[in-house]
C-alpha cells in the first residue's frame, strides 16, 4: 500500500484529484480488480458476472472472488437472484434458470461506512502518535 505522503505528492505533481480507486484501496483495501468492479457496480444497476467478465476481460472466477469480497466481507454490494425470464424481459422465453445480479448499496450508506473507517483509522494512528515516547519505541527486537 502506498504511503499517504507518496499519494499526496503524486496528486500535487500530477495536479489530480484523489481518484476513487485510490480511495477504495486506501480506506477499504481493495485491489485493482475489486476497485474496478465496485466502481462499475456503482454506475450500473443489475450487473451480472457475465457483464463484468466482458467489461474487464477477466475470467469468471476472478470476478466472482471480487464480488464475494464486496458482498460478503465488505457489505457494500448486494446480490439478488433473478429469473432469466425477468432479467431478459421476455414474456415467452424458452430460457429457464436464475442468475445473480449485483447492485451497490445506498451511496449515502457507503459514504458513511467509508467515513467511519477513516475516522477509526485516524483515531488509531493519532493514538499511536500520542503514545510515542521516543523513536526507540518503534524498534522491533529480533528473536
CATH number at residue 51: 1.10.10.10
Number of domains into which the chain is organized: 1
- Choose the weakest-confidence range: 38-42, 80-84, 132-136: 132-136
Residue 140 lies in a domain: no
* Model pLDDT, residue 1: 46
Residue 97 lies in a domain: yes
Residue 141 lies in a domain: no
- Per-residue pLDDT averaged across 49-59, rounded? 94
Cβ contacts of 132 within 8 Å, gap of 6 or more: 138
Residue 25 lies in a domain: yes
Residue 139 lies in a domain: no
- Choose the weakest-confidence range: 18-22, 86-90, 104-108, 124-128: 18-22
Give yes or no for residue 10 having a pLDDT over 80: no
* Model pLDDT, residue 26: 76
The pLDDT tens digits of the residues spanning 91-143 come to 656 777 888 999 999 989 888 988 888 898 889 888 877 877 665 566 666 66
Residue 50 lies in a domain: yes
Residue 111 lies in a domain: yes
Percentage helix, strand, coil for the chain under 3-state DSSP, each rounded to 5: 60, 10, 30
Residue 143 lies in a domain: no
Give yes or no for residue 27 having a pLDDT over 70: yes
Look up the domain containing 74 and give its range: 4-131
Give yes or no for residue 65 having a pLDDT over 90: yes
Q: What is the mean pLDDT of the chain?
A: 81
Can you tell me the distance from the alpha carbon of 16 to that of 27, in angstroms, rounded to the nearest whole number? 19
Q: State pTM to two decimals.
A: 0.73
Amino acid at each position: 500500500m502506498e504511503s499517504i505522503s507518496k499519494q499526496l505528492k503524486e496528486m500535487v505533481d500530477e495536479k489530480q484529484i484523489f481518484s476513487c480507486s485510490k480511495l477504495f484501496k486506501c480506506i477499504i483495501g481493495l485491489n485493482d480488480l475489486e476497485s474496478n468492479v465496485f466502481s462499475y457496480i456503482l454506475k450500473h444497476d443489475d450487473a451480472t458476472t457475465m457483464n463484468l467478465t466482458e467489461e474487464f476481460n477477466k475470467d469468471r472466477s476472478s470476478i466472482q472472488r471480487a464480488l464475494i469480497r464486496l458482498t460478503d466481507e465488505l457489505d457494500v454490494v448486494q446480490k439478488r437472484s433473478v429469473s432469466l425470464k425477468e432479467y431478459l424481459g421476455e414474456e415467452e422465453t424458452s430460457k429457464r434458470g436464475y442468475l445473480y445480479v449485483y447492485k451497490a448499496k445506498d451511496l449515502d450508506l457507503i459514504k458513511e461506512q467509508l467515513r467511519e473507517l477513516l475516522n477509526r483509522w485516524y483515531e488509531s494512528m493519532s493514538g499511536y502518535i500520542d503514545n510515542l515516547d521516543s523513536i526507540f519505541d518503534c524498534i522491533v527486537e529480533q528473536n
